Amino acid sequence: MKDKLFLMIPGPTPVPETALLAMAKHPIGHRSSEFSAIMKEVYQNLKWLFQTKEDVFVYTASGTGAMEAAIFNLVNPGDKVLSLVIGNFSKRWAEIAAMKGADVEKIDSEWGQASDPAVLKQRLDQDVNKEIKFVTMIHNETSTGVTNDIQALCKIVQEHGAVSIVDGVTSLGAIPVKMDEWGIDVIVSGSQKGFMIPPGLAFLACSKKAWEVYENCKNPSFYFNFGACKKSVAEDTTPYTPNVSLIVALRETLRMMKEEGLENIYNRHADLAMKMRTGLRALGLKLFVEDDRIGSKAITSVYPPDGISVPDIRKTLSKTYDIIAANGQSKLQDKIFRLGHLGFVSERDIITALGSLEATLIKLGYNPKREKTALK
Ligand SMILES: Cc1ncc(COP(=O)(O)O)c(C=O)c1O
């Protein structure tokens, strides 16, 4: 049905009407005092969301832009970068660092597992000459639906002395991120996730330690330049023409988040994720990440039942119920499907998604009742 689309993918996520209406207005001049007042509020509220006293830079780019910003402003060719890889997105750090000419070493975990802090510690303890300059990691691996314990991982990196670089693309605004308290050096994110606005803005915050490293970077980025961003934050502006409409929408969603409160936002996501996991299991479905302790609060990956294909499930969900679910990525394509539940999501959405999924599976010949009996 027209205009009934319901995104259950892990980004872009649904956008509240307040933000949509804000975007529908004529864009204003980005060098106007009116826009500076908006930027000032947005910058302040981003610090609150990132739980940091440091500046948060806003780029007109997708999340990968902020990932590239981090690597290109910090890493010099030949620098040793240790990349903790648990899926498709955490792998991206290693790819970008290799492009910058870094000497990249990966610690690969099986997809569906989290990075093991003990393994990281063991590797960094071996690095007695402190050759490893950076450790990249992901908070919430969207391709598998796993959440890393970045508090533990960043502490280990801090004790070693390297700079931690974290992908917080699907964690900020959904699960707790305490940048300063947890000693995160650099964290990035993107607008089409927990921020509840469409794609097109990316965010990056860096610690004082990371800033010093930037100052020694021989060929930093031009468009994503940290120095230009910092100067602009101080002046309540952006270095270049930003996506004004998205920033106006972001002001609204940040206000909504402040009104809800961080703890309530995190509790809502945790509660909805548990309801989603419980509901899927009650349908007799197998979760890709069985361990609830590492299962993401933002996205859940599910195996299709035997004999029913992921494309058929996605097609029927979309055609019959206007619900869009995501396929698995790369080696998980057609092996799992993924349901996003981050940002502007409520219990009604979870119930709708589960009910529609059950009806979809029945249409495709699956009998949830038989599966439930078989499970007993
Ligand atoms: C965890 C994670 N990192 C990075 C990205 C890349 O972001 P973008 O597609 O906005 O460049 C995504 C996008 O889904 C993601 O989920």
Question: Within its chain, how far is the Cα of 141 from the centroid?
Answer: 7
**Residue 353: its pLDDT value, please?**
97
Topology, domain 17-258: Aspartate Aminotransferase; domain 2 (3.40.640)
Percent of the chain scoring above 90 in pLDDT = 97
Please identify, by atom number, the ligand 1 atom nearest to the C-alpha of residue 202. Answer: 10
Q: Is the dihedral of CA 58, 61, 62, 65 positive or negative?
A: negative
Exposure string for 124-147, b = 16+ CB within 10 A, e = fewer: beeeeeeebbbbbbbbbbbbbbbb
Q: In the structure, what pLDDT confidence band is assigned to residue 371 with cuts at 50, 70 and 90?
A: low
Q: Is the pLDDT of residue 372 over 70?
A: no
**Ligand 1 pocket residue status of 170, Cβ below 6 Å:** yes
**Residue 23: its pLDDT value, please?**
98
How long is the chain?
Answer: 376
Say if residue 77 is preceded by a cis peptide, omega within 30 of 0. no
* 134-141: average pLDDT: 98
* 248-257: average pLDDT: 98
**Residue 370: its pLDDT value, please?**
66
What backbone phi and psi angles, to 5 degrees, belong to 39?
Answer: -60, -40
Measuring from atom 14 of ligand 1, which residue has the nearest CA?
A: 11
Give the integer Cα–Cα distance in Å for 290 and 5.
Answer: 29
Which amino acid is located at 33 in the chain?
A: S
Same fold, 6-12+261-375 and 17-258: no
Span from the CA of 327 to the centroid of ligand 1 (angstroms)? 15
Span 145-190, pLDDT tens digits: 999 999 999 999 999 999 999 999 999 999 999 999 999 999 999 9
> Domain 6-12+261-375 carries which CATH code?
3.90.1150.10
Q: Is the pLDDT of residue 210 over 80?
A: yes
Question: Over the chain, what is the mean pLDDT?
Answer: 97
Burial of 208 from C-beta contacts in 10 A (0-12 / 13-18 / 19+): exposed
Q: Is the pLDDT of residue 252 over 60?
A: yes
Please identify, by atom number, the ligand 1 atom nearest to the C-alpha of residue 67. Answer: 4
* 348-373: average pLDDT: 90
Distance set, CA 204 to CA 19, 73, 161, 254, 278 (Å): 22, 11, 21, 16, 34
Give pairs for 110-113: CB < 8 Å, separation 24+.
111/86, 111/87, 111/143, 111/144, 111/331, 111/332, 112/144, 112/146, 112/288, 112/289, 112/301, 113/86, 113/146, 113/294
Rg of the chain over all Cα atoms, to the nearest angstrom: 21
Q: Are 248 and 193 in contact (CB under 8 A)?
A: no
Span 290-331, pLDDT tens digits: 999 999 999 999 999 999 999 999 999 999 999 999 999 999
**Ligand 1 pocket residue status of 62, Cβ below 6 Å:** yes
* 7-25: average pLDDT: 97
Span from the CA of 318 to the centroid of ligand 1 (angstroms)? 23
**Ligand 1 pocket residue status of 344, Cβ below 6 Å:** no
* 103-118: average pLDDT: 98
**Ligand 1 pocket residue status of 81, Cβ below 6 Å:** no
Q: Which pairing describes strands 163-167 and 140-141: parallel, antiparallel, or unpaired?
A: unpaired
* 249-278: average pLDDT: 98
Give the integer Cα–Cα distance in Å for 173 and 258.
Answer: 11
Would you call 273 helix, strand, or coil by DSSP?
helix
Domain boundaries, the chain: 6-12+261-375, 17-258
Give the integer Cα–Cα distance in Å for 223 and 46.
Answer: 21
Give the integer Cα–Cα distance in Å for 258 and 253.
Answer: 9
Exposure string for 37-76, b = 16+ CB within 10 A, e = fewer: ebbeebbebbbebbbbebbbbbbbbbbbbbbbbbbbbbbe
**Ligand 1 pocket residue status of 11, Cβ below 6 Å:** yes
What backbone phi and psi angles, to 5 degrees, belong to 337?
Answer: -125, 155
Sheet holding 201-206, edge to edge: 56-60, 201-206, 186-190, 163-167, 132-138, 80-85, 103-108
Q: Are 317 and 360 in contact (CB under 8 A)?
A: yes
Give the integer Cα–Cα distance in Å for 27 and 3.
Answer: 24
Half-sphere exposure of 280 (CA within 13 A, CB side): 25
Span from the CA of 189 to the centroid of ligand 1 (angstroms)? 8
Q: Which of 90, 61, 73, 17 is nearest to 191 (CA)?
A: 61
Span from the CA of 169 to the centroid of ligand 1 (angstroms)? 6
**Ligand 1 pocket residue status of 66, Cβ below 6 Å:** no
